Amino acid sequence: MYNLIMFGPPGAGKGTQAKIISKQFGIPAISTGEMIRAAIKASTPMGLAAKSYTESGSLVPDEVVIGIIKERLTEDDCKNGFILDGFPRTIPQAEALASMGVEITKVISFEVSDKAIVDRMSGRRLCSACSASYHTVYAPSAEEGKCDACGSELIIRKDDRKDVVESRLLTYHRETEPLKEFYSKLNLLVVVDGEGTVEDVSKRALEALGVVLHNV
Ligand code: AP5
């Protein structure tokens, strides 16, 4: 059973790799960012409270995201493992996860330079209906501006504006990066080079998990 954490700066490819590993292992990929965006779209009380944080590149308060994850991990599809994408992002979140009795198998840290991140975020496009993610250059949709999966319009995420990306990177270095030491001390951290093609990165990530594949 794999209980995995995809770790890394914004735009490192955590979501992209989480979806690939999810298919490979048949376990759910759980993205706190996606859950928060869905709540904002639906204007739920949590979404309304989270909006100003995400749009300015800050972290949503710990108690909110801890609550979301606690509830999500009790769902049936998590019984055989799961992949957390974007959680934990602070030491209190990591401590809360441990206190839920969750045993983490590995934390995969995708290392990508700040320059490559800005490049990835500026080209990212997201499906307005199903959240599928594309990149104008590295992972384009078949028809420009339309989702391959459902045909809906592709949009630019509000927090992918240049000034917000810079703020998200600062937040990452200040509040999230210290978790590398936290998980390294627990012997759970595996560092993976996150640059190169999506396929190259998948191969490295799967190898880090002890899986050697020729076609991913
Ligand atoms: P969240 O949605 O988690 O954003 P993030 O961590 O900033 O990560 P991203 O989704 O931007 O990037 P990613 O690493 O998943 O990369 P992706 O695969 O998409 O969080 C958003 C906000 O919600 C936060 O800022 C915060 O406010 C709040 N939040 C969420 N979780 C929270 C928590 N735990 N605590 C508090 N607040 C929280 O790839 C990026 C782009 O690059 C795509 O276009 C993709 O196609 C492309 N790409 C991917 N891999 C490659 C590659 N190898 N080569 C070229 N292009 C690539």
pLDDT on residue 213 = 61
Q: Whose CA is nearest to atom 54 of ligand 1?
A: 197
Percent of the chain with pLDDT over 70: 98
Q: Is residue 214 very low, low, confident or very high in pLDDT (cuts 50, 70, 90)?
A: low
Instruction: Choose the residue to mutate in 135, 172, 200, 202 for probing ligand 1, maximizing ligand atoms within 8 Å of C-beta.
Output: 135
pLDDT tens per residue across span 60-96? 999 999 999 999 999 999 999 999 999 999 999 999 9
Instruction: State the pTM of this model.
Output: 0.92
Cα separation of 53 and 181, whole Å? 26
Atom of ligand 1 at shortest range from CA of 37: 23
Is ligand 1 within 6 A of the CB of residue 36? Answer: yes
Single out the residue of 121, 90, 120 nearest to residue 7, CA to CA.
90
Atom of ligand 1 at shortest range from CA of 86: 3
pLDDT of residue 184 exceeding 70, the answer is yes
Q: Is 124 a catalytic site residue?
A: yes
Q: Are 10 and 169 in contact (CB under 8 A)?
A: yes
CA atoms within 13 A on the CB side of 55: 9
Is ligand 1 within 6 A of the CB of residue 203? Answer: no
Cα separation of 205 and 31, whole Å? 18
Q: How far is ligand 1, taken at its centre, from the CA of residue 29, in Å?
A: 13
Instruction: Choose the residue to mutate in 68, 138, 193, 216 for probing ligand 1, maximizing ligand atoms within 8 Å of C-beta.
Output: 138
Active-site residue, selected from the candidate residues 89, 106, 120, 125: 89
Give the 3-state secondary structure of residue 173. helix
Active-site residue, selected from the candidate residues 70, 72, 157, 180: 157
